[in-house]
């Protein structure tokens, strides 16, 4: 490829998802991913620490995006609404990359180690969200509960969306799930 | 010890928690746990598949207790109340064993692999709780959201309780957390 590698990162991600789907995560090497993407192994390691990181680099972006959106919401916005809007906006980004997100999800679900890693990342996101709410002046345990409510909605909305072949709009599913959570917690 | 080993399981659990605290989880062997408990290694393996199982056998009991309580709640009880009462009742059992629960928690938190295992067990509990609610006729996504709301409350209440040196009553913390979740989701 030479030194000019337009969107090497994107092609590595796509190649990795293809290979994980074809051979399984454990049976795929970084060298094979690089070859499929048409770049050198060295280029792979300039972008990712290891093959697992190809699947989880987006988790850090999701964390930073949601935490940033909650932090930057106007002070007058109630905590649960700041969280709902942040999660819905993150859903919008996922919606744009629906096919890649679905391919990644299938790989993660097929592998217990990756599923545990995913749970750890979501737990890390819950902690970051709690801190962002504390930073807005929300006291404990309300900060923690609001963050956990947001994570509950995120998980349920994501599962509903990813399983639906018609392809519902994720931000809409997120907002509907927040309304549903309000209904079920009030005992309606 | 001979064949009569009164409460060998309880003594193994206590010995394991002591050794994990003193030496760390990774540096403790099943043989050492058996020796500390005054039983043979063979007795250890009659009770537990491995040293990790000493920490997680209670997770299956917690799962079965909560799922059973939700399943057996009278049909007229609203889903969120069935979950709240099941979690509060489970909290009552943990309250009775507060010191052991706190020792176990310290071991789990000190080890990333055990923390990931704990998250997996809680995810398994959320799935069981969702199925129990579906069995009561609760449709999706309300079943999943109600279960996730219950898990959110369980996590937050447990953390509040385990960190509080005064030793709040866990069932009371659970009920207060459900009320707080209702307040935060309604935007109050």
* CATH number of the structural domain spanning residue B140: 1.10.357.10
pLDDT at A4: 56
* Domain match, A59 and A44 both: no
User: At residue B122, does pLDDT exceed 50?
Assistant: yes
Please judge whether A79 and B184 are an interchain contact, meaning their C-beta atoms are less than 8 angstroms apart.
yes
Q: Name the burial class of residue B54, with classes exposed (0-12), middle (13-18) and buried (19+) by CB atoms within 10 angstroms of its CB.
A: buried
pLDDT at B2: 46
User: At residue B161, does pLDDT exceed 80?
Assistant: yes
The Cα–Cα gap between A111 and A118 comes to: 11
Task: Looking at the complex, report in whole angstroms how far the Cα of residue B91 sits from the nearest Cα belonging to chain A.
Answer: 18
- Residue B78 touches chain A, beta carbons under 8 Å: yes
ipTM: 0.85
Please judge whether A156 and B177 are an interchain contact, meaning their C-beta atoms are less than 8 angstroms apart.
no
Contacts of B117 in chain A (CB under 8 A): 116
* Domain match, B115 and B29 both: no
* Domain match, A65 and A33 both: no
Task: Looking at the complex, report in whole angstroms how far the Cα of residue B6 sits from the nearest Cα belonging to chain A.
Answer: 37
The Cα–Cα gap between B137 and B75 comes to: 9
Torsion of CA B84, B90, B93, B99, to 10 degrees: -100
* Domain match, B39 and B120 both: no
CB burial of A105-128 (b: ≥16 within 10 Å; e: otherwise) equals bebbeebeebbbbbbbbbbebbeb
Q: Which of A15, A31, A48 is the last residue of a domain?
A: A48
Q: What is the DSSP letter of B73?
A: S
How would you write the pLDDT of chain A (188 residues) with one tens digit per residue? 445 566 899 999 999 999 999 999 999 999 999 999 999 999 999 999 999 999 999 899 999 999 999 999 999 999 999 999 999 999 999 999 998 999 999 999 999 999 999 999 999 999 999 999 999 999 999 999 999 999 999 999 999 999 886 768 999 999 999 999 999 998 76
3-state helix, strand, coil in chain B (%, to 5): 75, 0, 25
Q: Tokens 């079965």 belong to which residue?
A: B64
* Domain match, A124 and A177 both: yes
What's the average model confidence in pLDDT over B12-16? 95
pLDDT at B92: 94
| Helix/strand/coil for A78 | coil
pLDDT at A30: 97
- B49 or B3, greater pLDDT: B49
Provide the domain limits for residue B44: 1-48
Please judge whether B116 and A115 are an interchain contact, meaning their C-beta atoms are less than 8 angstroms apart.
no
pLDDT at B164: 81
Average pLDDT, chain B: 92
User: At residue B135, does pLDDT exceed 60?
Assistant: yes
User: At residue B165, does pLDDT exceed 70?
Assistant: no
User: At residue B169, does pLDDT exceed 70?
Assistant: yes
User: Residue B11's domain is classified under what CATH number?
Assistant: 1.10.10.60
pLDDT at A188: 60
* Domain match, A32 and A115 both: no
* Domain match, B127 and B38 both: no
* Domain match, A124 and A102 both: yes
Do you find a cis peptide bond into B86, omega within 30 degrees of 0? no
* Domain match, A60 and A144 both: yes
Q: Bin B167: left if φ > 0, else alpha if -120 < ψ < 50, else beta.
A: left
Contacts of A156 in chain B (CB under 8 A): 141, 144-145, 148
Nearest to A55 by CA among A77, A80, A25, A94: A25
Counted across chains A and B, CB pairs separated by less than 8 A come out at 96
Task: Looking at the complex, report in whole angstroms how far the Cα of residue A182 sits from the nearest Cα belonging to chain B.
Answer: 5
pLDDT at A6: 67
Structure tokens at B70: 């939700």
pLDDT at A120: 92
- B106 or A2, greater pLDDT: B106
What's the average model confidence in pLDDT over B149-176? 90
| Global pTM value | 0.89
- How many Å is the Cα radius of gyration of chain B? 18
User: At residue B1, does pLDDT exceed 50?
Assistant: no
User: At residue B172, does pLDDT exceed 70?
Assistant: yes
**Alpha carbon separation from B152 to A99, A138, A142, B3, B168 (Å, rounded):** 30, 17, 12, 44, 19
Please judge whether A184 and B146 are an interchain contact, meaning their C-beta atoms are less than 8 angstroms apart.
yes
- Residue B80 touches chain A, beta carbons under 8 Å: yes
Domains: count for chain A: 2
Please judge whether B159 and A181 are an interchain contact, meaning their C-beta atoms are less than 8 angstroms apart.
no
* Domain match, A40 and A121 both: no
Contacts of B182 in chain A (CB under 8 A): 185-186
Q: Which of A33, A48, A63 is the last residue of a domain?
A: A48
Task: Looking at the complex, report in whole angstroms how far the Cα of residue A94 sits from the nearest Cα belonging to chain B.
Answer: 20
B180: nearest CA partner in chain A: A142
pLDDT at B168: 81
**Do B40 and B34 touch, CB atoms closer than 8 A?**
yes
Q: What percent of chain B has pLDDT over 70?
A: 95
Query: Would you tell me how many other CB atoms lie within 10 Å of the CB of residue B85?
Result: 18
**Do A68 and A88 touch, CB atoms closer than 8 A?**
no
* Domain match, A61 and A153 both: yes
* Domain match, B10 and B79 both: no
Nearest to A79 by CA among A27, A25, A121, A131: A131
B182: nearest CA partner in chain A: A185
- Residue A181 touches chain B, beta carbons under 8 Å: yes
**Tens digit of each residue's pLDDT (9 = 90 or more) over B174-183:** 999 999 999 9
The Cα–Cα gap between B2 and B42 comes to: 12
**Do A17 and A56 touch, CB atoms closer than 8 A?**
no
**From A52-66, A165-179, B7-21, B72-86, the region with the lowest mean pLDDT:** A165-179
């Amino acid at each position: 490829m030479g030194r000019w590698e337009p969107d090497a990162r994107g092609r590595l991600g796509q190649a990795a998802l293809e290979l994980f789907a074809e051979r399984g995560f454990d049976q795929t090497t970084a060298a094979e991913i690089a070859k499929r993407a048409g770049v050198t192994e060295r280029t792979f390691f300039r972008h990712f620490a290891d093959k697992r990181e190809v699947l989880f680099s987006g988790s850090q972006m999701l964390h930073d995006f949601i935490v940033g959106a909650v932090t930057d919401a106007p002070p007058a916005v109630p905590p649960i609404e700041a969280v709902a809007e942040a999660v819905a906006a993150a859903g919008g980004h996922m919606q744009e990359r629906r096919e890649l997100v679905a391919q990644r999800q299938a790989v993660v679900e097929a592998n217990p180690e990756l599923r545990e890693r995913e749970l750890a990342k979501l737990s890390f996101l819950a902690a970051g969200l709690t801190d962002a709410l504390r930073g807005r002046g929300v006291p404990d345990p309300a900060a923690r509960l609001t963050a956990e409510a947001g994570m509950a909605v995120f998980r349920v909305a994501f599962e509903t969306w990813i399983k639906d072949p018609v392809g519902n709009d994720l931000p809409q599913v997120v907002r509907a799930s927040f309304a549903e959570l309000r209904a079920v917690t009030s005992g309606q």
